[in-house]
Chains A and B, each alone.
Chain A
Amino acid sequence: MLNLSGVTRRYGETVALEDLNLIVPDDTYMSLLGASGAGKTTLLRLIAGFEEPNAGQISLNGERLDGKAPHRRDIGFVFQNFALFPHLTVQENVEFGLKYRETGACADPKELTERAADALQLVGLDGFGHRGVGEISGGQKQRVALARTLVTEPRIVLLDEPLGALDANLRNRMCDELRAIRERLRVSFLHVTGSETEALTMGDTVAVLSDGRIVQADGSTELFTRPHNPAAARHLNAWNLLEGTAWAGALDTSAGMLPLSRPLAEGAAAQIALRFDQLGVSDLDAVPGGRSHFTARYVTGEFNGPTALSFFRAPDGALIQVVDHLGDPRLPELTEGRSYALHYAPGDALLFEGAST
């Protein structure tokens, strides 16, 4: 189990990570979701020991990691740019760690070859050993990088946007393979990504990193359906947020008074979150019974293949998105510039206290 508590990392005046807490359990695939610049890479670099925290501690299975030299941490790292050794062949790249590591180096050339061959087989690169690393494709490079790391049997594997440099098709295939490989080795993977789809597909659990802190770490379904705070909701790219002040038992937003699911103090700031696919659209005078609603102007639509996105604007300018599935359309014909009623089941709305930042 990897445990980070109170980890802070500053670069001069800029704070990259602040008082960050995170637990990565054993034998799990965890995704770390965050926007670019949120400090995802910094977090991985702190765990691997390429950088050190200004405060807080990092421990693995109870053993303190911070302050320890990176090569004594036994942590695998897969880089976004692969970082293969350009002067070595694929085989030599994979053998590298086994051959030259400070402790537990493998001196027997036969065993070395065998273990490297096993690792290459594991990532589906049988018979590529003799190739130069300049002679293989991006997907193959990523596999070599993975094999090179896995062959040293690290205690945990950190993957820094490992699919970022691959094209969409290959990315999907690598997703499945990464999961399969991890399940065979039963070692924890911590996979950093900026894409919410990738995070939700890959992770048994997903941690959301925002403004230098972990705002939520949960199973992917729980996270998607029940984000705990506006920051987590925003990162999932599936929730609309409407802000307002509590007044007379409802939330006063620019789109109108919306019912509160629990009582709030008079005048308290709060946000209501509504999922893209749980909003219905109707004419202003035809709101179905039993559903809360508010008014917004239709701006435009976007066709995404199996789904269609419709964009609305609330009176205060907030953008509201509604998802419709083509196989099961819920939305009427919409005219640009016209106002519609956006309605939802009161139980689907999430209420977050506090103003948006």
Chain B
Amino acid sequence: MTTVTTDMPDTTETSPAAAREANERRRALMLLSPGLLWMILFMVLPMLMVIYVSFWTQTTFAVNDTLTTASWERFLSSATYLGAIGTTLRIWAIVLVATLVVGYPVALFIGLFVKNQTVQTALLVACVIPFWTSFLIRVIAWRPMLGTEGAINTILMNLGLINEPLTFLLFSEFSVLVGMTQIYCVFMVGPITFMISRIDESTIEAARDLGASFGTIFRRIVLPLSMPGVIVGAIFVSVMVLGEFATAASLSGRKVNLLGNIIVSQVGSLKWAFAAVAGVVLTIIITAVITLALRVVDLRKEM
């Protein structure tokens, strides 16, 4: 047998384990830094720019970087702008509730009542597929549906239920709500279905064996366990609806002005500082909503 004559590591040397860990951390950081840098340069920096410019001085056709709160004062004292905040919050709240009410039973059916794996997947895919088609086409598709000579009015008139076409269907707040509900309820159905389908079958069987009615099972088991899905869905729907402008622009006939529409029209007339103020307000609202939701659920664990 030979004796191993390698030197003992001296005490100042870090252990191989520490060296390996440091190495792995360095590697992770190197892999991550391009992505993080991209996000900081092209997302964080522009957002900071919005805040900065909201304090610039707005002249008729240009902005300059003399700092002032004039744009803020004008924004906060204008009935139009404050009205836009109100409209945004109202539309958001209604659409949020509508997507939940419309989507939950569907998620319940797919997640709980459809036992066949293939059928379950097929139904889920059927719900998600519209997401793959063009957003603008989905918005514009509501026009021939809701118009005075559209599908719904034509059918109702042929059935003799109405004599005059219903005019409130299109170019109204109604059409915006219907359009947004249709477009965004996929984001509610998906997460909720996911959470419900994860519920252990035997839990429900056991409750049923103990004589619990469906109502009780739903209230005690299904509803609480599906809540993370509802929250995740609500986060998705909220950020999308709050930042909306296209649906309102093309279906409301300029009757609905969301904060997003304000930003678009201000940019159109080169009022950058006002647009920036509206942007900051929108950011504050969205941050508040997400923070609230994240208090309830840890997004990283649910993904």
Contact = CB atoms under 8 A, between A and B. Distances in A.
Interface string B1-41: 11011101100000111111000000000000000000000
Contacts of B5: 62
Contact of A62 (B2, B9, B15): B2
Contacts of B19: 52, 67
A1 B2 CA distance: 9
A137 to B, nearest CB: 27
B6 A62 contact: yes
A69 to B, nearest CB: 10
B16 A53 contact: yes
B17 A57 contact: no
B3 to A, nearest CB: 9
Interface in A60-103: 62, 64, 66-67
Interface string A24-59: 010000000000000000000000000111110101
Contact of A52 (B2, B4, B20): B20
B17 A51 contact: yes
A6 B298 CA distance: 43
Contacts of B4: 3, 5, 59, 62
A59 B6 contact: yes
A57 B8 CA distance: 8
A52 B6 contact: no
A57 B15 contact: no
A9 interface: yes
A52 B5 CA distance: 20
B34 to A, nearest CB: 24
Nearest to B5: A62
Contact of B17 (A9, A23, A25, A64): A9
A59 B2 CA distance: 12
Contacts of B18: 54
Given A57-B9, A59-B6, A62-B6, A51 B20 contact: yes
A57 B15 CA distance: 10
Contacts of B20: 51-52
B225 to A, nearest CB: 32
Nearest to A23: B1
Contacts of A67: 16, 19
Nearest to B15: A54
Given A9-B17, A52-B20, A57 B6 contact: yes
A25 B1 CA distance: 8
Contacts of A57: 6, 8-9
Given A1-B1, A51-B20, A52-B20, A64 B15 contact: no
B87 to A, nearest CB: 53
Contacts of B17: 9-10, 51-54
Contacts of B1: 1, 23, 25
B15 A55 contact: yes
Interface string A1-14: 10101000110000
Contacts of A62: 2, 4-6
A62 B16 CA distance: 18
B30 to A, nearest CB: 17
Contacts of A66: 16
Interface in A300-323: none
B95 to A, nearest CB: 45
A10 to B, nearest CB: 8
Contacts of A9: 17
A53 B6 contact: no
B9 A52 contact: no
A1 B4 CA distance: 10
A86 to B, nearest CB: 23
Contacts of A64: 6
Nearest to A25: B1
B16 to A, nearest CB: 4
A1 B8 CA distance: 19
Contacts of A3: 4
Nearest to A50: B20
B283 to A, nearest CB: 40
B1 to A, nearest CB: 7
A9 B18 CA distance: 11
Contacts of A52: 15-17, 19-20
Nearest to A10: B17
A23 B16 CA distance: 20
Q: Which of B2, B9, B15 counts the most A-chain CB atoms under 10 A from its CB?
A: B15
Contacts of B15: 52-55
A23 B6 CA distance: 15
B59 to A, nearest CB: 61
Q: Which of B2, B19, B20 counts the most A-chain CB atoms under 10 A from its CB?
A: B20
B19 to A, nearest CB: 7
Nearest to B6: A64
Nearest to B3: A62
Contacts of B16: 52-53, 66-67
Contacts of A23: 1
A5 B15 CA distance: 14
A15 B77 CA distance: 66
A73 B227 CA distance: 51
A53 B2 CA distance: 23
Contacts of A53: 15-17
Contacts of A51: 17, 20
A349 to B, nearest CB: 33
28 contacts: A1-B1, A1-B2, A3-B4, A5-B4, A9-B17, A10-B17, A23-B1, A25-B1, A51-B20, A52-B16, A52-B17, A52-B19, A53-B15, A53-B16, A54-B17, A54-B18, A55-B15, A57-B6, A57-B8, A59-B4, A59-B6, A62-B2, A62-B5, A62-B6, A64-B6, A66-B16, A67-B16, A67-B19
3 pairs of A and B residues whose beta carbons are closest in the complex: A52-B16, A52-B20, A52-B17
Given A5-B4, A51-B17, A59-B4, 11 more contacts: A1-B2, A9-B17, A25-B1, A52-B15, A52-B16, A53-B17, A55-B15, A59-B6, A62-B2, A66-B16, A67-B19
